[in-house]
Structure 1
């Protein structure tokens, strides 16, 4: 009886035809190898022949295509399947009297295990979904992980009237120097930053002379290379705008507790009226006279201006459908001419999403697989090929 009813429905064949058309489109247009963008040279060759994830096809989860869906569902799945991490917390006292928390994960690591410093996005903390995801898979591969929190986050109160400001990297420089000193001699150190955390890492790599002394290699995941473009894109209807407002509500929940900021030139009451990321940046950095204009602020933070000054190997993972930084905002031409910077660019993946397969409830997705393979190859460097690569790059820089 059931099948007889179904057979009488005229749209049933159309439904199957639509499904077939979708999967033909999926297999022929969606499933592709991500582009590896970099200047021809030792870094590109090393990545092509050693980091095999790059040469594989990326199979985005077919039932959540699109940047918004990838970002939201990836967040929900990671929160669901990943257990909480038991870190060892260390309080790092900074030169100006401020403090930040370093969360160490080194269970099961050998004495000389390499280390990765992880810089989260704007409000990322130790149990944030993507932090747990990357820290877990790196530790499983035998790598130490240190999460470098921002001031006022990670269980530490804001001790001085200073808040996160885009590409101000002095705190990161102190943290990297401290971690390097705590590690055993000759222990290699890498650094990965996500989302807005990439501004701080980009500024450090481009402007800090000690960067090549301490770091072996670095990685950026979903970097908003052009913050101005990203802010404009986030204010488009409908989902982008909803996400923008939702993100700012979470930021302001934290910000309103930082009463010590009233001792600075920051107009806290004005900042608390911010409804969008653009308004928050303007109220925090421009109206408080940290920058002369919003345009100057955006230009100062732009990664396009820094990539040419980076002297250690840097790998970026980006998606063309990232709602915060779509392909039009990416510095593809600059990266194509760079010997020290490479970009893996997928058509799908969203912002810190990169779900793959029809059932993406396992812990390792494309982002995690690329991240851990890259750092195990460059930090363990069992055959010395990465060290030879760096020597070649040093001769050309």
Structure 2
């Protein structure tokens, strides 16, 4: 039942998926900054950093946790813009930096991946220990959206404070989406991701020369190569295929127990057909799906400072707010 007809109307030039994707990721400027950084100590001895902002209503009891995408961090425009619209509505914000994604490299050989829900659990536990918030919501982008959806679907007893969630431009079928990202039409994006990730792997080589060599890293020509060499092995999976199968959130969507919205543009060139789970939404009481005709990858641009997915996320979450 929860299939939502989209009202997004893209400015003519941004009906082109590549224009909207590139502009939103590379040219957009967002004025917003966090006021506090929390370093969360993880059970395995590692850490991650959480960038927080407290609304002008200092005693706010509502918090949104934001999860970034592949090779992202809390300072990406899409993260700052989503934090801004919630802050303006009186919500506190907490933007995750996955392991190794803040200025300081994490301590362990492992870092983050699309299914590392234990790190999201650690953040939620840290926040709940403050006994400040009665209402928490989650917003995830791309890889972070997959991680968030997996968390919601694999847990039958998530904390009662978590009331709703929104995922944006999310590859809920990791393997199939990687095939799409590897197509010629996406070469500008895949090369950029590979370049960034290899740079991080070379840093990891310096810290763990016995685990990965410069020659192995240099030999990676694609995202799948990186997942075969590093992501899967460093995080306990047999290979890339095993990682994609076990971490894809698609299989967990029917189990989601709180109102959750997925916004995936029909022209998002990163996503496979399986990332539009229409039948799951039709048969779910809690999983909502909206497929705007335009928007590319996190590029739902409008003729004002806010983007459509930001307004929709706030609207959806507010509609279930107590």
Aligned twin of 2:223: 277
Distance change in 2, residues 1:220/1:88 (3 Å): same
Q: Which secondary structure state, in structure 1, belongs to the residue aligned with residue 315 of structure 2?
A: helix
Aligned twin of 2:282: 336
Q: 1:370 aligns with which of 312, 315, 320?
A: 312
Q: 1:322 aligns with which of 253, 261, 268?
A: 268
Distance change in 2, residues 1:289/1:127 (3 Å): closer
Q: 2:164 aligns with which of 205, 214, 217?
A: 217
What does 1:347-358 align with in structure 2 at a 5 Å threshold? 347-356=293-302
Aligned twin of 1:179: 127
Q: 1:154 aligns with which of 102, 120, 137?
A: 102
Task: Name stretches of at least 5 consecutive residues in structure 2 with no aligned partner.
Answer: none
Aligned mates of 1:137, 1:233 — CA distance in 2: 31
Taking structure 1 as the reference length, the TM-score comes to 0.75
* 1:341-391 Cα distance to aligned partner (Å, 9 max, x none): 0111111111101113xxx3x311211110122223323x3xxxxxxxxxx
- Match status 1:199 vs 2:146: yes
Aligned twin of 1:145: 93
Contact 2:60 2:90 in 1 (8 A): no
Contact 1:116 1:145 in 2 (8 A): yes
**By how many angstroms is 1:157 displaced?**
2.8
What does 1:31-110 align with in structure 2 at a 5 Å threshold? 39=1, 44=2, 57-79=7-29, 82-110=30-58
Instruction: Give the length in aligned residue pairs.
Output: 322
Distance change in 2, residues 1:101/1:71 (3 Å): same
Contact 2:134 2:161 in 1 (8 A): no
Relative to its length, the structure with more helix (as a share) is 1
* Root-mean-square deviation (Å): 2.3
- Match status 1:232 vs 2:179: yes
**By how many angstroms is 1:74 displaced?**
2.0
Q: Which has the larger radius of gyration?
A: 1
Aligned mates of 1:304, 1:110 — CA distance in 2: 38
Aligned twin of 1:302: 248
Aligned mates of 1:228, 1:237 — CA distance in 2: 17
Aligned twin of 2:63: 115
Q: 2:192 aligns with which of 242, 246, 251?
A: 246
**By how many angstroms is 1:275 displaced?**
2.7
Aligned mates of 1:59, 1:94 — CA distance in 2: 43
Distance change in 2, residues 1:330/1:288 (3 Å): same
Contact 1:120 1:194 in 2 (8 A): yes
Aligned twin of 1:345: 291
Contact 2:260 2:286 in 1 (8 A): yes
